[in-house]
Amino acid sequence: MNGYPSSQIITVPSEWKDVMDAILKTGGVVMVIGDTDCGKTTFSMSLVNSALASKMSVAVVDSDVGQSEIGPPACVGLGFPTDQIRSLGEIVATEKAFVGTTNPAMRIPELLVATERMVMKGLGRGADILLLDTTGFVKGSIARRLKCLKVDLVQPRHIVILQRNDECEAMISPYIHNRHMHLHRLSPSSDANWKSSFLRTERRRAKWIRAFENAHVIEMEWERCPFRGVWLGAAKPYPPLELREISEIIRAQAYHAEEQAGTLHVIVDRIPLEERAREGMDRRYPNLRFSYVSAETLRRLLVGVHDVEGKLLGLGLIQYVSFRKRIIGVLTQVPTPSAVGSLFFGAIRVHPDGNEIEMVPRL
C-alpha cells in the first residue's frame, strides 16, 4: 500500500503545466515545498514523467523522512527513474542517507546534511534535472528555519511552492529577489485530498516492514564498530565494583556507567526518581551531573548501519547490548558484520512488525 491507488487519475492543472515547461527549459535543482497534502509528491511525479518524456536524465531526492516514497522512513533517499512512473514510490533508492527520525524537527542538522549529500550525489551523476521533494512541515519557526537552510544548502534553481493561502510566504520571502532562483507559486489541484493519520501510519508501517523483512541479527564488538549519536562506548566504563555501589545508592540496577564532560551517564533497569537517590549520588560524586537511560530504551532502537566510508548500508534495530562483553546485536538486512564501520543511533524505537514504539529525543 502506498496511498496512491494505481488507478488514480492525476489531474495536471494548466498552471502546473506552464511551470513544468519553464522548469524543463533550464533543468537544475527543483525543490518542491508546501503544507501536508498539497500535492508536492504528485507534482514531483508529474514533473519526473514530463522530464523523462523530454529525454532528460532525472534524479529524485526524497527528503520526507515521515512519508518516505524513495527508501525507508527516517532516511533521505535518492533514485534515478528511467521509465514513466505512477507513484514516486516506484523509484528504487540507489543510495540513502540516515537521519534517524520520522519527525524532521527532532534532527534538523542530520536532515540537512543527509539532504545535501543526496543532492550532491545526484548532481554528481550528471542528472539534467534533480527533484527534491520535502516534508509538509511548514508551520512555525523551526519549519521556517529548516526550509530556508535547505534552500541555502542546495541552492535550487526552481522552488515550486504549493500553497492553499500564503502559508509558505515566510519561508520563501528571503529569496524573492534572488536572481539565481525562480519561484513558482501554485495552488493545489482541486483533486488533492487529505491522507488520514491512520493512512499515514499504515503507509509507514508497511515501509518499516519492508525495511526489516528477512532481517537477521548480526553481532559486533563495540571496539570495531564505533557508535554515533550517543555517548555510549566513547569513554572508559566504570568498573563492576563501582556499578554495584551506584546500584545501592540509586536502588536500581546500574548496568553500565561512563563519564563524559562532567556528566555521569548510567544505564539502568529503571530510572531512579527518588530524592534520596539524587542526594546519595550528589554526595558520592559531588562534581558530576547525572543522566540515566533505561536499558529498555536501547532495545529496538533504530540505527543506521554504515560502512567504513560512512555510506549507509541499511537500517537496523538493536536487539541486545552486552555491557560486560561490549558487544551489540542488531537486526538488519545487512548481510554480514564484516562490512560494518559504524552504527548511527536513531531517535525512534520500532518493532520489526512495523509498529513504532516511541520517540527517543535524547541519548
Ligand X SMILES: Nc1ncnc2c1ncn2[C@@H]1O[C@H](COP(=O)(O)OP(=O)(O)OP(=O)(O)O)[C@@H](O)[C@H]1O
**Can you give the C-alpha Rg of the chain in angstroms?**
23
User: Nearer Cβ to ligand X, position 15 or 169?
Assistant: 15
Q: Which residues pair with 44 in a beta bridge?
A: none
User: Nearer Cβ to Mg ion, position 37 or 95?
Assistant: 37
User: Nearer Cβ to ligand X, position 163 or 319?
Assistant: 163
Closest CA to 324 of 251, 221, 214: 221
Q: Work out whether strand 342-350 and strand 356-359 pair parallel, antiparallel, or are unpaired.
A: antiparallel
CB of 138 to ligand X, least distance (A): 9
Q: By CB under 6 A, is residue 36 in contact with ligand X?
A: yes
The entry of Mg ion, ligand X, none that residue 235 binds, CB within 5 to 8 Å by partner kind: none
Stretch that binds ligand X, among 39-47, 139-147, 171-179, 311-319 (CB under 6 A): 39-47
CA dist 161 and 168 (Å) reads: 7
Site string for ligand X, 185-224 (x = CB under 6 A): ----x-xxx-x-----------------------------
Site string for Mg ion, 37-66 (x = CB under 5 A): ---xx-------------------------
CB of 356 to Mg ion, least distance (A): 19
Q: By CB under 6 A, is residue 62 in contact with ligand X?
A: no
CA dist 148 and 159 (Å) reads: 11
Cβ atoms of 290 and 264 closer than 8 Å: yes
CA dist 223 and 342 (Å) reads: 10
User: Nearer Cβ to ligand X, position 42 or 342?
Assistant: 42
Q: By CB under 5 A, is residue 207 in contact with Mg ion?
A: no
Closest CA to 163 of 192, 195, 140, 143: 192
CB of 156 to ligand X, least distance (A): 17
Of the candidates 27, 39, 73, 304, which one interacts with ligand X according to CB under 6 A? 39
Question: In terms of C-beta density within 10 A (0-12 exposed, 13-18 middle, 19 or more buried), how is residue 29 classed?
Answer: buried
CA dist 325 and 289 (Å) reads: 27
Q: By CB under 5 A, is residue 102 in contact with Mg ion?
A: no
> Which residue, judged by CB position, is nearest to Mg ion in the bound state?
41
- Which runs of E-coded beta strand occur in 74-205? 75-79, 95-98, 129-133, 158-162, 182-186
User: Nearer Cβ to Mg ion, position 40 or 204?
Assistant: 40
> Which residue, judged by CB position, is nearest to ligand X in the bound state?
136
Q: Applying CB under 5 A, which residues contact Mg ion?
A: 40-41
